[in-house]
Structure 1
Amino acid sequence: MLNEVAGIKIPDSILAKDARDILREHGNDLLWNHSNRAFLFGAIAGKKANKKYDLELLYISALFHDLGLTKEYSSPDLRFEVDGANAARSFLQQYHVPDESIRLVWDAVALHTTVGIAEHKEFEVSLLNSGVSLDVIGKGFEQFPADLREEIVKAFPRNNFKQDIIPAFYEGFKHKPETTFGNMNEDVIKHYRTEYKNKNFCECILHSPWKN
């Protein structure tokens, strides 16, 4: 494991190392490289903003943010983001991490795909969302320093990431498509099942048990 990439020191506490081991054991190279890139992209954004934040909590959040896609941590009925957040909470509780820090990590993981909300939460939550968004859809690509971007990708290669991440998402929640109602993950389900129809919000209102 590298000690530093693009001017960002990789956390090396026992907590950080154990979190790495969990992702390494239950994830794959795709999730490993993506999670580390997301952390570094977010950390550099935080450094540029010159605002105080907890680098280790951002790192833990990044390592757990897609763990809900894995067989070990995927539930039968919760959003994959919530599965990852719950896994992170259980992990941190074993180390007697303060409740406020645990809540922060839970929010960062659970909200990392929630556009329009995550960026207005605590800085660690916002930074994870920023790092993930840059890596997955290229948000902020042109504004991110090219030399740092290239150094990060060299350390944690993309290796056909654009082609592989969509099926990885699908495999992670194809058994519970109903959890994609009201969020961007429904697009992944429809990418593979064009006929799929989730609930409709307006129909939920009109067919509720209320008389008027």
Structure 2
Amino acid sequence: MRIADLRPPETATVRAALDLAVRYLTPALAAHSIRSWYWAAGFAEVQGLRPDRELLAVAALLHDLGLAEEFDAVRTPYEIGGGHVAAVFGAGAGWSRDLQQRLVEVIERHNWPEVDPGLDVEGHLLEIATGLDISGARPDALPREYLLEVLEAYPRGALATDFGDRVAERAERKPTSQAARLVAGGLRQKLAANPLESL
């Protein structure tokens, strides 16, 4: 398993999503979004799943847009607000309304405690990919050489502080949100103890 074999689809929509992520997210969050694609693609290989690769790539790249200051929703949890921003992007890319809705669902569900692949294969892959990158879940499910290659290409940088601060701030303002659940579940401690930090 190598980066070269699992690159995102080379489509104009994926390139535009990457540009949007780099433009609006901090460097640490943009790198997290790119790693999320590579972890999701790796998990798809390991689990024998066949996702819609373009949908998964766009969802991975844009899943944290709700943490950007420009898209901070007053009442809406960040994953839902960010999902709808991504849907607007999808509309501009010419995606059908059904595919735009799938983008909303995948991004919203990535913050669920668990997503059944029978319900949503892309949501499942993004949930476990972000679970690895943020909380360190399933660190042994992907080959160590692949983990090291992705981390070398897209270092974690200030992710623990950046992500932890942004989610904690959203949790304080939105106490019934998934952000609040993440913080209550020890988000900062999990970020600090993530085995990817020491690879």
TM-score normalised by length of structure 2: 0.83
2:114, 2:127 within 8 Å by CA — same for their partners in 1? no
| 2:47 is the alignment partner of 1:49 | yes
Q: Name the % identity.
A: 22
Q: Match of 1:205?
A: none
1:150 counterpart (126, 148, 151): 148
1:6, 1:151 within 8 Å by CA — same for their partners in 2? no
1:108, 1:118 within 8 Å by CA — same for their partners in 2? no
What is the alpha-carbon distance in structure 2 between the residues aligned to residue 132 and residue 73 of structure 1? 20
- Note closer, same or farther for the CA distance 1:132–1:185 as it changes in structure 2 (3 Å cut): same
1:5, 1:155 within 8 Å by CA — same for their partners in 2? no
Deviations, residues 174-207 of structure 1 (Å, cap 9, x unaligned): 6xx353315352553898xxxxxxxxxxxxxxxx
2:168, 2:179 within 8 Å by CA — same for their partners in 1? no
Structure 1 vs Structure 2 CA RMSD: 2.3
Unpaired runs of 5+ in structure 1? 192-212
1:104, 1:122 within 8 Å by CA — same for their partners in 2? no
Shift of 1:104: 1.8
Shift of 1:6: 5.4
The 5 Å alignment of 1:19-34 reads 19-34=17-32
Which structure has the larger Rg? Answer: 1
Deviations, residues 22-72 of structure 1 (Å, cap 9, x unaligned): 111111111111011111101111122222211111111011111101111
What is the alpha-carbon distance in structure 2 between the residues aligned to residue 93 and residue 119 of structure 1? 26
2:116, 2:124 within 8 Å by CA — same for their partners in 1? yes
The 5 Å alignment of 1:34-45 reads 34-45=32-43
Count of residues paired in the alignment: 185
2:77, 2:177 within 8 Å by CA — same for their partners in 1? no
Shift of 1:160: 4.1
Q: Match of 1:183?
A: 178
The 5 Å alignment of 1:28-177 reads 28-117=26-115, 121-171=119-169, 173=170, 177=172
Unpaired runs of 5+ in structure 2? 187-199
The one-letter amino acid of 1:5's match is: I
* Partner SS, residue 180 of structure 1: coil
- Note closer, same or farther for the CA distance 1:63–1:48 as it changes in structure 2 (3 Å cut): same
Greater fraction of residues in helix: 2
What is the alpha-carbon distance in structure 1 between the residues aligned to residue 157 and residue 181 of structure 2? 25
